[in-house]
Amino acid sequence: MALYDNKYWLLSHIRNSFISTDDTGMCELVMSGERRDIQTHLKSMEPFPDPESSEDDEDDFESFELQMDMDFKIRERSNTAAQIEKLELARKRSAKMRNIKWEHTQDSATQDVDLFVKKDVSHNKIQQNKTSKLSALIQTHADTPKNPFMEYAKFDGTGQVNIPTKKYKIYLTMLPPQQRNYPMPVCCISSSKVKELIGLILLKFSYNYGTANLKDPNHYGLYITEEDGEVDSDFPCLDYREPISKFGFNCLGLVEHKEGTKSVSFPDDSTTLFTIEEMNRTRTISEKSKADENKQMENDIQAVEDHNRLMEAPLYHSFRAFMLSKVKPKIEVNIGVSGERIEIDPVPQKGSKLLPFKAKAISHPIDSIADCEITDIRTNRTCFRIVYGANSASIPNSNLDSSFSSSTSSSLQYPNTTSYKNYDFESNHVTANDLVQKVKLILELKTSSTRVEYLATKEKKLQKKKSFHIVK
């Protein structure tokens, strides 16, 4: 084979092998652009280019089987499986169907005589102009206004064949709360836009609850919703101009937008739909929903504050408190809390030298902190406790520290895991609350192994206690 000593061919073969075995398409993406460069590069490297080979396969560096197309996608799966499934379905369906085949029989002798009987039409009485049922029905329902959402009926996906459809669970927030518990199933053709889906939902809604109080689809938004029907207001509603296929969520909530929030950009053409009476009704509805809105607003503000606190939690902040101990007098300390560590510095006191022991600064990395909680609330001060894992090295193990551990460690020692020790402090209510909350937030953010273990042992202990009670 002349091909095997042709380095262009070999190179191209290797490259094609790379491309064809790589299902992610990455090789193709990287390699297909540089074909020409490599070719010219090889040419310039060759001292004596072989005139024959350069004539032959100058342009055919790719294998013949591989077609390089310019959109680099992941290779498509063969649709054989889908095809088989389709056939299977058709087979199943036809099993339920009676098939009658046309068979042409030549002998007309078998023909039934009574099959073709001539009917005498000469006395064919034409019925009188009695009102038919349809006419009566239409006339009695003559005042029924045309459903304004009827134009969206064609986006209904139920029963469609050969068209991709999407099924949704829609929670309708305009319903009274007791009716809101169950979502309305809506099936929509996949090619429709969000606005058209909203229109379809309103159409289905109007079948059950009438068209009163309903507005143009532009006044509504579809929000991502939990399976339990709670509308997730953290995300904006789905853009009503986008096709629904863009969004993967299948549980959505329909929410009516308040005046002036969203309707700015679209012309309001729904005004003609409503009589004054209906306007009044909508007003009461909107007042009600305004109360909801206020509540919602408060919640939002709360959420923002929480969020801010969460964001600021790892920042350094120092608190003033008194450290308590059973054996020693209380010392005033500065507790510095940051995302990395907790530092406890004794505040230099007048005449501190007179104290029988020396108070040293303590520092614990935040990873060793297991818990922080309020233990006691009194009239003018609050006691709180910081629990830490003793195995994790607390940096300067001062005599103060050790003396504390000796006094308190007994209560919280577990044989198999780290032993936990604690510091007890007291402070005024505000400081104590702030500190505890800050430390808790940091712990939540970091979730160190110490904390996890601590919580686990605590849980175990609680259960033990419980079972003990039951036995008793």
Partner 1 sequence: MTIDSLDNDNIILATGGYDHTIKLWQTHTGICTRTLQHAESQVNALEITPDRQHLAAASYQHIYMYDLTSNNPNAIVNYEGTSKNVTCVGFQEDGKWMYSGGEDSRARIWDLRSRNNQCPKIFEVQSPINCVALHPNQVELFVGDQNGIIYRWDLRTDNNEQLIPENDAMILDVEISPDSQLMASVNNKGRCYIWSLISGVIDTPTKMIPKQKFEAHTRHTLKCKFSPDSNLLATTSADTTARIWSADHFTLLQELKQTESQRWVWDTAFSADGQYIFTASSDGNARLWNVKTGVMEREYAGHQKAVTSLAFRDAS
Instruction: Name the minimum Å distance from CB 448 to partner 1.
Output: 58
Q: Which stretch binds partner 1 (CB under 8 A): 18-26, 138-146, 374-382, 461-469?
A: 138-146
Residue from the set 122, 271, 380, 416 that interacts with partner 1 by CB under 8 A: 122
Binding of partner 1 by 126 (CB under 8 A):
yes
**Contact present, 251 and 168 (Cβ < 8 Å):** yes
What's the distance, CA 438 to chain centroid? 28
Q: Which stretch binds partner 1 (CB under 8 A): 42-50, 105-113, 284-292, 372-380?
A: 105-113
Report how far apart, in Å, the C-alpha atoms of 75 and of each of 20, 32, 63, 71 are.
10, 15, 18, 11
Binding of partner 1 by 91 (CB under 8 A):
no
Kindly write out the interface string for residues 192-221 of this chain, putting x where it contacts partner 1 by CB under 8 A and - elsewhere: ---------------x--------------
Binding of partner 1 by 112 (CB under 8 A):
yes
Q: Which stretch binds partner 1 (CB under 8 A): 3-11, 75-83, 94-102, 433-441?
A: 94-102
> Phi and psi dihedrals of 184, rounded to 5?
-95, 125
> Cβ-count burial of 32 within 10 angstroms (0-12 exposed, 13-18 middle, 19+ buried)?
middle
Which DSSP state fits 355? S
Residue 8: partners with Cβ closer than 8 Å, 6 or more residues away:
39, 42, 53, 57, 61
Binding of partner 1 by 106 (CB under 8 A):
no
**Contact present, 198 and 222 (Cβ < 8 Å):** yes
Residue from the set 93, 350, 353, 378 that interacts with partner 1 by CB under 8 A: 93
Binding of partner 1 by 78 (CB under 8 A):
no
Binding of partner 1 by 123 (CB under 8 A):
no
Binding of partner 1 by 271 (CB under 8 A):
no
Residue from the set 78, 105, 178, 272 that interacts with partner 1 by CB under 8 A: 105
Binding of partner 1 by 116 (CB under 8 A):
yes
Binding of partner 1 by 137 (CB under 8 A):
yes
Distance CA 95, CA 98 (A): 8
Residue from the set 77, 141, 326, 469 that interacts with partner 1 by CB under 8 A: 141
Tokens representing residue 26 in the block: 């990455």
> Phi and psi dihedrals of 256, rounded to 5?
-80, 130
**Contact present, 52 and 2 (Cβ < 8 Å):** no
Q: How many residues bind partner 1 (CB under 8 A)?
A: 55
Amino acid, res. 375: T
Binding of partner 1 by 1 (CB under 8 A):
no
Residue from the set 44, 67, 78, 129 that interacts with partner 1 by CB under 8 A: 129
Instruction: Name the minimum Å distance from CB 182 to partner 1.
Output: 21
Nearest to 152 by CA among 193, 222, 199: 199
**Contact present, 365 and 340 (Cβ < 8 Å):** yes
**On the CB side of 469, how many CA atoms lie within 13 Å of its CA?**
6
Element (H or E) spanning 165, and its range? strand 165-172
Nearest to 221 by CA among 196, 198, 244, 245: 198
Q: Which stretch binds partner 1 (CB under 8 A): 2-10, 120-128, 320-328, 403-411?
A: 120-128
Residue from the set 21, 40, 67, 131 that interacts with partner 1 by CB under 8 A: 131
> Phi and psi dihedrals of 316, rounded to 5?
-70, 135
Whichever of 124 and 271 has its CB closer to partner 1, that residue is 124
Kindly write out the interface string for residues 144-183 of this chain, putting x where it contacts partner 1 by CB under 8 A and - elsewhere: x-xx--xx-xx-x-xxxxxx--------------------
> Cβ-count burial of 156 within 10 angstroms (0-12 exposed, 13-18 middle, 19+ buried)?
middle
Binding of partner 1 by 64 (CB under 8 A):
no
Binding of partner 1 by 121 (CB under 8 A):
yes
Other CB atoms within 10 A of residue 44 CB: 8
Whichever of 214 and 387 has its CB closer to partner 1, that residue is 214
**Contact present, 187 and 242 (Cβ < 8 Å):** no
> Cβ-count burial of 364 within 10 angstroms (0-12 exposed, 13-18 middle, 19+ buried)?
buried
Q: Which stretch binds partner 1 (CB under 8 A): 102-110, 216-224, 242-250, 326-334?
A: 102-110
Instruction: Name the minimum Å distance from CB 201 to partner 1.
Output: 15
The binding site for partner 1 (CB under 8 A) comprises 93-94, 96-105, 110-112, 115-122, 124, 126-127, 129-138, 140-142, 144, 146-147, 150-151, 153-154, 156, 158-163, 189, 207
